[in-house]
Amino acid sequence: MDKKRILIIGGGFGGLTVANQLKHSKFHITLIDKTNHHVFQPLLYQVAMAALSPGDIAVPIRSVFRGREKVKVLLENAVSIDKAKRRVYVKSNDIEDFIDYDYLVLAVGAQHSYFGKNEWEKYAPGLKTLNDALTIRQKVFSSLEITETLHETKETAKYLTFVIVGGGPTGVELAGALSEILLENIKKDYRFIDTHQININLKEGIDRLLPSFPEKLSGSAQKVLENLGVKILLNTRVMDINENGVMIGDKIIKTKNIIWAAGNTAQPLLKTLNVPIDKSGRVIVEKNLTIKNYPDIFIIGDAAAVKDKKGIELPGVAQVAIQQGKFVAKLILEVDDLNKSAVFNYKDKGTLATIGRAKAVALIKGYKFTGLIAWLLWAFVHILFLIGFRNKVLVIIQWIWYYFSLKPGIRLIIQRKDAII
């Protein structure tokens, strides 16, 4: 029998897991991604807040599979899929080509959703990539530099006002980190900024933060943020975002610093499959994560609409993608006797969110943790899943340094032409 061709699209947690599980197999594996690196997304907010550098949380995909001759890594952008021909059309540097496959694994992740208002992205960047993190970093620290120059004029208010849209884990983590940096750490560096004028707002559309957590932990997170000086805006709706600021309800908050953490949607590539999708654009898959009538195509991670045994949709977190990647790799390894009746069952190992230095909330196997214990659990889990020994060591050293010194990383502003200040 000819060796099977396994094509994996996406170098995130799911795609990397599948490739790693198959790297010793008899198959020919091709992994394509539109960037040359795997990024540890849960720590992107720390790059945005200058606590970590991009290289601390990212690793070149080629380095991960160095010496693995059966794993080919390509920097390509997949644009469409032909299910009948078993072919994926790709584009790189304006050169179009195609890649044929025997088994296709789509682990393409998600992108920001502005709920039909894509023009808002210009003023309210989200946080999905290193590029996003560096854009946010430039906006925040450029605002501080401008404020220092203005010397407390009427214009300073809009540069010292920050609005984070979305009260999920990303929004909460950003708000906590932003508060610590702006209200505690910049005093000695910016002599003409009065920290009492800094206004940090976290907006959520429902009646509590962290809706995926129990109410007790949500309440705990809110109290911690409020003690850090963050203003919580619950049950509020964004009506407009423009160069002047953000309109929430019938009030406008004038600001030059808006960060979007409110919604995700699946990648446009999935629409080319011409199969049923949910309201977020994710593919509705079979119980074994394949497409109906196409057992050669697997969808995992944020690209797949999957429910647990209780009928609750699985969250778009790394652990889901990793477990699905292992499940799919196991099915592919059993290709000669593919178990079409196999069912993916997610094992929830816990949910964590950090709020700041030694502050976090965690839910693990029904047990609730807050404060330092939760933060230590959060730190251990994130270090555990970082790829590369160098990354783990660097992050541990910088976290220890920040914990005892209260001094974040080097706050470099890298000028980016696409950023709006």
Task: Look at the chain and count its residues.
Answer: 421
- The catalytic position among 145, 148, 152, 173 is 173
Q: Are 149 and 61 in contact (CB under 8 A)?
A: no
The residue behind tokens 């705990």 is 220
* Residues in a beta bridge with 28: 5
**173 is annotated as an active-site residue:** yes
Residues 6 or more apart from 369 whose CB is under 8 A from it?
A: 360, 361, 362, 363, 377
Q: How far is the C-alpha of 9 from the C-alpha of 15, rounded, in Å?
A: 7
A 10 A CB-CB count for 75 gives: 16
Closest by alpha carbon to 200, among 255, 162, 234?
162
Q: Are 160 and 146 in contact (CB under 8 A)?
A: no
C-alpha dihedral (376, 382, 387, 391), degrees to nearest 10: -50
Q: Which structure tokens are listed for 54?
A: 């991009």
The residue behind tokens 């799911």 is 14
Q: Are 301 and 320 in contact (CB under 8 A)?
A: yes
Q: How far is the C-alpha of 54 from the C-alpha of 409, rounded, in Å?
A: 11
Q: How far is the C-alpha of 216 from the C-alpha of 359, rounded, in Å?
A: 15
Q: Are strands 283-284 and 304-305 parallel, antiparallel or unpaired?
A: parallel
Q: Are 402 and 408 in contact (CB under 8 A)?
A: yes
DSSP character at residue 26? S
User: At 57, phi and psi to the nearest 5?
Assistant: -120, 10
The DSSP H or E segment spanning 240 is: strand 238-242
Q: Are 304 and 324 in contact (CB under 8 A)?
A: yes
DSSP character at residue 122? G
Q: Are 387 and 55 in contact (CB under 8 A)?
A: no
Per-residue burial over 272-297, b = 16 or more CB atoms within 10 Å of its CB, e = otherwise:
ebebebeeebbbebbebbbbeeeebb
The residues that are catalytic are 173
